Structure 1
Amino acid sequence: MMNELQILLNDEQLKKIGEQVAASLDIKEIIELISSGERYMNKKQTCKYLKVSNNTLDSWILCGLPQILINNSVRYDRFAIDRWMNQLEKTS
């Protein structure tokens, strides 16, 4: 026989738990992307990898986010993106 434990949480606590669960699911998707060995990503994958919206990615592209253009097809190198982000961190 198993005993039951009830925990009562207020709305704010439930909201925080929900946010943490959602964040951990996003992290899981990013880890899967990284571990899949996919170095070159399309725009949607890049947004997911960086956890930003399409509009934010467009803005970062204007700021110098590296792209690879092959016959009107754009790809993003995960390693180049990481280097670019690290450079920004060093200059901030």
Structure 2
Amino acid sequence: MQVILPDEQIHQIQILLSNLIQKEIEQQLEQSGLNSPYLNKQQACDYLGISNNTLDNWIKKGLPAIKIGKTIRFHIESIDRWLTTHN
């Protein structure tokens, strides 16, 4: 069985699907914390694809980190800049 829809309905379905996908992407980014420009240690490890020990070594080598009390945060753009100068 084949269903034939008018072009306008096809366009409306495409818009609906696009909006649903966009909302799902935004929700996933919000839940992962990757929509923030600042990452915690675990998020930084995930972002870089490295272990916590490697991250600690990179911090000792100069990876920019922001320390607030016992909390450490990393600015994504600073990580990217540091990586381009240290590869």
Query: Given the two structures, how large is their TM-score scaled by the length of structure 2?
Result: 0.58
Matched residue, 2:73: 75
Amino acid at match of 2:36: E
C-alpha displacement of 1:72? 2.4
Q: State how many pairs are aligned.
A: 58
1:1-92 aligned at under 5 Å gives the runs 32=29, 36-89=34-87
Q: Which runs of 4+ in 1 moved over 4 A?
A: none
Secondary structure of the residue aligned to 1:37 is: coil
CA RMSD of the aligned region, Å? 2.2
Query: Where in structure 1 are there 5+ consecutive unaligned residues?
Result: 1-31
How much identity, in percent, do the aligned residues show? 44
C-alpha displacement of 1:71? 2.5
Query: Where in structure 2 are there 5+ consecutive unaligned residues?
Result: 1-28
Give distance in 2, aligned partners of 1:80 and 1:68.
10
Query: Given the two structures, how large is their TM-score scaled by the length of structure 1?
Result: 0.55
Structure ID, larger Rg: 2
Give distance in 1, aligned partners of 2:67 and 2:85.
22
Give distance in 1, aligned partners of 2:72 and 2:80.
17
C-alpha displacement of 1:88? 1.4
